[in-house]
Chains A and B, each alone.
Chain A
Amino acid sequence: MKEEKILQLLNENARMSLAEMALRAEMAENEAEAAIQSLEKSGVIRGYKPILNEAELGENKVKALIEVRVTPRREGGFDQVAQRIARYPEVTDLFLVSGSFDLLLTVEGNSLNEVASFVSAKLSTIEGVLSTSTAFLLKKYKESGRIMQNDEEYKRLKICP
């Protein structure tokens, strides 16, 4: 229950001060801190990162979503192939999915070429990988619940009955 509340608050803003978190979760600061530490230790929390709008950074990194079909191994199923793929630092996210392909991954590189050569030289040559289909990302509208477009400021009345 307490951990659930802490996770909800971290999800809202992982940089929330301990003081605010404690007030909002109705617990002492050291309690909140202990709850976070235990979540980190147990591996529920694997890290924290900002949600970026790269367009405003003027960054030219290239990202692609790649669908991969694989033949499951006799022992280990999809896990062995997936874990192999996961070790590449180019791969930022990786999921086993239902549907007409098996693995869905996001890959990041400094240029189109870099991503393309990762796919052709590394990914598709891994044993068990049958085929890949690459979709380069063109524009981001929303990530982790945050919409990228800035809405025009909308002013409410400051005071009303």
Chain B
Amino acid sequence: MKNINDSKSVRRPLVADHIKSLPKSGIRAFFDLVNTMDDVISLGVGEPDFTTPWTIRETGIFSLEKGHTSYTSNLGTIALRREVCRYVRQNYNVEYSPENECIITIGVSEALDIAMRALLNPGDEVIYTEPCFVSYPAEVRMAHGVPVPVETYVDDAFALDPARLREKITPRSRVLLLNFPCNPTGAVMSREKLLEVAEIAIENDLVVITDEIYSELLYEGEHVSIASLPGMRERTIFLHGFSKAFAMTGWRVGYACGPHEIIDAMMKVHQYAIMCASTTSQEAALEALRNGEKSMLEMRESYRERRNLMVSGFNRIGLDCLLPKGAFYTFPSIRSTGLSSTEFAEKLLKAERVAVVPGPAFGACGEGFVRCCYASSVEDILEAIERIDRFVKSLKK
């Protein structure tokens, strides 16, 4: 009898080609190493160091106490969708209907995924800025699209240069994915530049996905959503969530707003793959929008202070660092050390037990930089700067 578990009986690849070819993040080994080490000062996180404000947590608890433990409608509770649409109208100047132009998702992560799956035909190109959030190119590939990075540079304060965007456009260009304020650079876009980008999107009939998850965490100037610019609402998917501004990463809740036709398509994917976002988290998120603003502003003020502290620290010790206008990351240049970003991060970790994320984790053009998150205690930031100073000096000897 032939054993059906015999390896010889498996003749085809076990894993789909487009998944097999997905790069496992090159710094995975580095991440694993950091997570096993003790007494590391980590500037490597990508989430708030605050616990979710109590009024939000308490609402989640109360929701469970009341026994709200069943599914919600696929789009999410109507109460939350109404509140989201109000919030988006007030803060981003775009009007969406809670009935059919808004969907509650499992964070921006899911919203990105279902947006890609709803929009892309195999081979369609998605242009996105690099350095960027690590999931972007993978999300595109998983939806059988082709990721096309457009690099951003320190000389432009990592804003997207419309001329460079133009160069990337081909007949297969379908989507433009933007993230400002940006992870990992903290970059923002001026209204003028955004208007130019919008014009290019309209000219080339691109759909824009705008991930504005860090938009509350802006320390100077005004936040402009591309969705609010003339002619853009009808071709833009606005993604946002609660993870960063309301310190709710573990709740896994976010949303997408957009034209009815697109939200409807995203809803199909969501309905079959997800059903609905967590009921508890949706009720807590509603409280965040209703009563969370004061806490959010306090957290922002605290980030602003720590941003200034970290940036002045890096510049003081000779690592050039822009003052990022948003998010909670700094992106200092480590070129002056003569090391590659990965060497820098590995050596720093070993020598001084400080963890930073090498820039190339966010795209090839991140080489020469490292990402440092300032959602860390003031003491840790000051101590980390001191250790990095010692490390950089030791290289010069």
Q: Hey, which bits of chain A sit against chain B, CB under 8 A?
A: 20, 23-24, 26, 156-161
Contacts and interface: CB of A to CB of B under 8 A. Distances in A.
A11 to B, nearest CB: 13
B361 interface: yes
A156 B47 contact: yes
A103 B34 CA distance: 57
Contacts of B312: 23
Interface residues of B, number: 24
B32 to A, nearest CB: 9
A158 B305 contact: no
A161 B25 contact: yes
Interface of B: 25, 31, 34-35, 37, 40, 42, 44-47, 49, 133-135, 305, 308-309, 312, 355, 357, 361, 378, 382
**Secondary structure type dominating chain A contacts:** loop
Given A23-B312, A24-B309, A159 B44 contact: yes
B305 A24 contact: yes
Q: Report, nearest first, the 3 A-B pairs whose CB atoms are least far apart.
A: A159-B44, A161-B134, A158-B42
B382 A20 contact: yes
A158 B380 CA distance: 13
Given A20-B382, A24-B378, A158 B309 contact: no
Interface centre among A23, A26, A161 (most CB of B within 10 A): A161
30 contacts: A20-B378, A20-B382, A23-B308, A23-B309, A24-B305, A24-B309, A24-B378, A156-B45, A156-B47, A157-B45, A157-B47, A158-B34, A158-B35, A158-B42, A158-B44, A158-B45, A159-B31, A159-B35, A159-B42, A159-B44, A159-B355, A159-B357, A160-B44, A160-B46, A160-B47, A161-B25, A161-B46, A161-B133, A161-B357, A161-B361
A20 B386 CA distance: 13
A42 B131 CA distance: 52
A65 B136 CA distance: 59
Nearest to A5: B305
Contacts of B308: 23-24, 26
A155 to B, nearest CB: 10
Contacts of B382: 20, 23
B50 to A, nearest CB: 11
Interface centre among A23, A156, A157, A160 (most CB of B within 10 A): A160
Contacts of A161: 25, 46, 133-135, 357, 361
Contacts of A157: 35, 45, 47
B135 A158 contact: no
Given A159-B42, A160-B31, 7 more contacts: A23-B309, A23-B312, A23-B382, A24-B378, A156-B47, A157-B45, A160-B45
Interface centre among A23, A156, A158, A159 (most CB of B within 10 A): A159
Nearest to A26: B308
A156 B305 CA distance: 22
